[in-house]
Copies of this chain bind each other. A is one copy, B any other.
């Protein structure tokens, strides 16, 4: 059995209260007593029972993060870095991280949020992959439960978030291609429903319009954000829109798949066709050719989201409560030379 305050108290011949205060470093305990208590605690290998402490303090010192997973083969390089960001920041503030995995938009998922918010499961939640109409955010907002989102949402609720400026990113990317002389630029869009997908898609359309480029319906296809999805979508573009000289993908993972598919088709990416991604996952620098993309400081975003949440659960108001990061363009070889 684990060592408790009681054990120490017995050993030291004092009350539990005294032990508690002695270890907590209160100054109303005699130095001598404290010394002794400390020693015994050390010798017995005492660790406070966190559950008990939590029940008493009415707080868990734990932050929650419900990871969206899609079937078995989930592997967004993105999330491990994000997780490292929040994890490291949480450790700095002495918070633990409770992670749960759920498939998006399932009863299990929303129930997990409900439990978390109403069952004293955690002190605050981190919400990622925000959706255009996000039931999770509505739930948390209604219950006034502390949370910070990575991403905005389509509803008009006010909540703290960190997000990258997708539209600005897309503008940079389109502009880059336009400057290289491209006129017919396709887009492999993220699936419907995801907020960042909509913003990136709108950003692309807007940037095209701003540059006086009309977008043919066949130029815009949808992929499921995976390599496979990117490859498939690129395949469709090859058939339905062979006139394209450049393609932008909604995320880097799809770009990786697209590169592959295009090469299979005998096209040299960066030469015969230009390609741009979005995210700048660590891998992007190592594809062949290396990927031109929009850099998103994902580790940093994780850190900041977590830092904001810590403030929130401590009763402070994060300031600013809305962070929109300006993305930067990373030019590598996949976008090729001017034509």
Interface residues of chain A, those whose CB is within 8 Å of chain B, are 2-3, 45-52, 54-55, 60, 62, 65, 67, 69, 72-81, 83-85, 87-88, 90-91, 96-102, 108, 114-115, 118-121, 227, 256-257, 259-260, 263, 281-283, 285-288, 290, 299
Known: A72-B88, A90-B101. 20 other contacts (CB 8 A): A3-B118, A47-B119, A47-B120, A49-B119, A55-B55, A73-B282, A74-B80, A75-B80, A77-B283, A80-B83, A83-B99, A83-B101, A84-B101, A87-B99, A87-B101, A88-B101, A97-B98, A98-B99, A227-B285, A256-B283
A51 CB contacts on chain B under 8 angstroms: 51, 54-55, 60, 120
A62 CB contacts on chain B under 8 angstroms: 98
A97 CB contacts on chain B under 8 angstroms: 98-101
For the complex formed, measure the closest distance between the CB of A158 and the CB atoms of chain B, giving whole angstroms.
Answer: 23
A101-B108 CB under 8 A given contacts A55-B51, A299-B73: no
Q: Determine whether the beta carbon of B74 is less than 8 Å from that of A81.
A: yes
Copies of this chain in the oligomer: 2
A119 CB contacts on chain B under 8 angstroms: 2, 47-50
Complex Cα distance, B71 from A87, in Å, reads 12
Pick from B54, B75, B257: contact of A286, CB below 8 A: B257
Q: Determine whether the beta carbon of A286 is less than 8 Å from that of B299.
A: no
A77-B74 CB under 8 A given contacts A51-B60, A69-B87, A119-B49: no
Pick from B45, B78, B91: contact of A118, CB below 8 A: B45
A75 CB contacts on chain B under 8 angstroms: 77, 80-81, 84, 281-282
For the complex formed, measure the closest distance between the CB of A36 and the CB atoms of chain B, giving whole angstroms.
Answer: 21
For the complex formed, measure the closest distance between the CB of A199 and the CB atoms of chain B, giving whole angstroms.
Answer: 23
Complex Cα distance, B277 from A286, in Å, reads 15
Could you write out 5 A-B pairs with CB less than 8 Å apart? A2-B119, A50-B119, A67-B83, A69-B84, A79-B80
A60 CB contacts on chain B under 8 angstroms: 51
Q: Determine whether the beta carbon of A100 is less than 8 Å from that of B108.
A: no
Complex Cα distance, B108 from A60, in Å, reads 20
Q: Determine whether the beta carbon of A50 is less than 8 Å from that of B227.
A: no
Pick from B80, B91, B100, B281: contact of A96, CB below 8 A: B100
Complex Cα distance, B62 from A227, in Å, reads 33
Complex Cα distance, B108 from A280, in Å, reads 31
A91-B87 CB under 8 A given contacts A75-B80, A287-B287, A288-B287: no
A79 CB contacts on chain B under 8 angstroms: 80
- Max chain B C-beta neighbours (<10 A), residue from A97, A101, A285: A101
Q: Determine whether the beta carbon of B121 is less than 8 Å from that of A227.
A: no
